[in-house]
């Protein structure tokens, strides 16, 4: 028995040290899915509306959303989507930045540049939506080109309002999270029209300042697989 204790103690110390090290490095090791559900909120209430606004930042021209469980995956999957959201909601700002546009055209005379999104603003919005402090590597996307000489993104596309929006179908609240089940629907269409996407689960974390960010986004099929592995606990 004593021998077993002496074997287990170093393993326990290693586990505790690893957790502390991860915390110091900025990794969030808190067990959000271990929290108990405090209340179930109406899917058409005030909080649901705020969360739908947050989820709308992930939606452009499709009801099929890339899923992610880590911020690094979110950065890779949603680079163009977030840039499109920024341009659509701030076109006058980014087309009116004449000083940076002139700087970009001087650095890239082969381009005709009409709007620019500074990389620092892109980073800020990414952290706002996805949390964390993972270093963002800037590169070209499918719709946006990264101009490294001026640190900005450009595109030749004109922004258009998305024809899709999220619709929350279940909303649970814990001390530090919202657990959101939702679908993506075409704007103006009802649940009975047969136009809704597959069902998604979003784990949204509350910040101390009252804002919130999306920590993970999965299809309910992926959630079902993880339930069988024990990641999702019943609460």
Q: How much is the pLDDT for 22?
A: 43
**Cβ-based neighbours of 40, under 8 Å, separated by 6 or more:** 170, 171, 172, 173
Residue 230 region by backbone torsions, left for phi larger than 0, else alpha for psi between -120 and 50, else beta? left
CA dist., res. 26 & res. 233, Å (int): 25
Q: How much is the pLDDT for 134?
A: 85
CA dist., res. 86 & res. 77, Å (int): 16
pLDDT in tens, the chain (235 residues): 555 555 555 555 554 444 444 444 445 678 998 899 999 999 999 999 999 999 999 999 889 999 999 999 999 999 999 999 999 999 999 999 999 999 999 999 999 999 999 999 999 999 999 998 789 999 999 999 999 999 999 998 887 888 899 999 999 999 999 999 999 998 665 555 546 789 999 999 999 999 999 999 999 988 887 766 655 554 4
- Using only C-alpha atoms, what is the Rg of the chain? 21
Q: How far is CA 233 from the centre of its chain?
A: 23
Block residue for tokens 């287990």: 8
């Amino acid at each position: 028995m004593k021998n077993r204790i002496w074997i287990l103690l170093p393993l326990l110390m290693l586990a505790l040290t690893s957790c502390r090290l991860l915390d110091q490095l900025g990794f969030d090791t808190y067990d959000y899915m271990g929290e108990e559900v405090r209340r179930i909120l109406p899917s058409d209430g005030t909080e649901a509306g705020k969360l739908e606004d947050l989820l709308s930042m992930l939606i452009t021209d499709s009801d099929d959303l890339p899923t992610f469980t880590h911020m690094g995956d979110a950065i890779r999957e949603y680079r163009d989507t977030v840039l499109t959201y920024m341009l659509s909601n701030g076109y006058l700002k980014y087309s009116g930045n004449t000083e940076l546009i002139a700087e970009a055209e001087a650095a890239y005379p082969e381009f005709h540049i009409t709007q620019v999104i500074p990389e620092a603003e892109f980073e800020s919005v990414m952290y706002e939506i996805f949390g964390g402090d993972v270093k963002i590597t800037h590169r070209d996307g499918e719709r946006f080109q990264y101009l490294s000489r001026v640190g900005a993104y450009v595109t030749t596309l004109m922004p258009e309002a998305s024809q899709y929006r999220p619709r929350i179908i279940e909303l649970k609240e814990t001390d530090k999270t919202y657990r959101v089940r939702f679908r993506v629907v075409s704007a103006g269409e009802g649940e009975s029209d047969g136009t809704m996407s597959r069902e998604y689960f979003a784990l949204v974390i509350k910040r101390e300042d009252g804002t919130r960010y999306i920590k993970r986004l999965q299809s309910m099929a992926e959630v079902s697989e993880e339930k069988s592995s024990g990641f999702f606990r019943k609460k």
